[in-house]
Each structure stands twice: as C-alpha cells, then as structure tokens.
Amino acid sequence: MATYGATIAWERNGETFTDNRYSRAHRWTFDGGIELRASSSAHVVPLPYSAEDAVDPEEAFVASLSSCHMLWFLSIAAKQRFCVDGYTDAAEGIMEKNAEGRLAMTVVTLRPHVVFSGDKQPSLSELEALHHRAHEECFIANSVKTEVRCVPVLGDVNAHQHFHQRR
C-alpha cells in the first residue's frame, strides 16, 4: 500500500464571500514542493471568479488519466524492446449528465501519438495491444467509472484507428 497526498489551500482576499462573488483561485502543493495555481473551470463558475490561467479539477482529471496511461505505455513498450522517442497525447474529457442525472466526467478520450525509432516498429495490432495493456494497468483508470477511450495514432497524425475500454 502507498499513500499519496496534496495540500489544497484557498484564502479569501477581501471579497464579501457570502454573496458568492469570490475568487475560486487556490493552490495545490505536492510532495517535493511542487505548487500549481488552480481554480474552478470557467465552464462551471463564470469569469472573473474562475482563473483562466490556472489548472482546474476537470483538466487535472483528464491529465491524470493521460499521464498514468503514458507511463504504463512507456514501461510496457520498453519491456517489449520498442524504442519510443516521443509521446504526445491531446487528451479530452467530456462533462455531461450521467445516468443518475448528475454532472460527471463521462468520457475521457486519449489520443496518444507515439514516435518509435529503430528497426523494431509496432504494427497497428501491436500498438493497440500496448495501449490496451497500459489501460488495464493504469491505477487511475482502474479507480474511476468514467469511460476511457484510446485513439492511438501511428505515423501520420491524421491517420489513426480507434478503440475504447469501458470501466
């Protein structure tokens, strides 16, 4: 078992607060001293009460799924002797009402574009298998009800195949 933590801190900066007109900007601090400026999403709480230049929980959720998937993908690819030179994922999450009528991140679509080098290049089926295994191993994906789709891109960014996993 491992324990992970974050400190989330917000302070009122002179706003009345009880009129619901206050800044949602706050700080996330992680081990090692890494600090991020965070806020509510402007899609949820309108400007100027949200900070556009800050990460919001919905973006962090998408990034967390994408990052976990990538880290597992890299590990699995290395073990199978595929040399990865680069990995970029333009991940996207959709927030909408779920089956219970509550707002939720219902779908996260990963769009990883992986650049390989060397003589050993994965076929499309091998690439899909790498992504499938990464999805199965991802701790974050294993922890959520959200549908996580993977649209891997091999070679040309415009030519891609699609498959998805449902949790």
pLDDT score of 59: 98
Please identify, among 55, 77, 96, the residue that sits at the C-terminal boundary of a domain: 55
Determine the length of the chain: 167
Shared-domain flag, residues 23 and 35: yes
Shared-domain flag, residues 131 and 161: yes
Shared-domain flag, residues 61 and 47: no
Shared-domain flag, residues 7 and 79: no
Shared-domain flag, residues 51 and 61: no
Residue 148, CA atoms < 13 Å, CB-side half-sphere: 28
What is the DSSP secondary structure assignment for residue 55, as one 8-state letter? B
Taking the CB of residue 30, how many other CB atoms lie within 10 A of it?
12
pLDDT score of 156: 53
Shared-domain flag, residues 24 and 50: yes
Shared-domain flag, residues 15 and 86: no
Are the beta carbons of 62 and 78 closer than 8 angstroms? no
pLDDT score of 162: 42
Are the beta carbons of 134 and 73 closer than 8 angstroms? yes
Q: Coil, helix or strand for 9?
A: strand
pTM of the model: 0.87
pLDDT score of 153: 74
DSSP string, 70-122: HHHHHHHHHHTT-EEEEEEE--EEEEEE-TTS-EEEEEEEE-EEEEEESS---
pLDDT along the chain (167 residues), means of 10: 95 94 97 95 95 97 98 99 97 96 96 96 95 97 92 61 42
Please identify, among 55, 81, 101, the residue that sits at the C-terminal boundary of a domain: 55
pLDDT score of 155: 66
> Structural domain tally of the chain?
2
Shared-domain flag, residues 118 and 98: yes
Are the beta carbons of 86 and 114 closer than 8 angstroms? yes
Domain containing 124 equals 57-165
Shared-domain flag, residues 37 and 71: no
pLDDT score of 157: 47
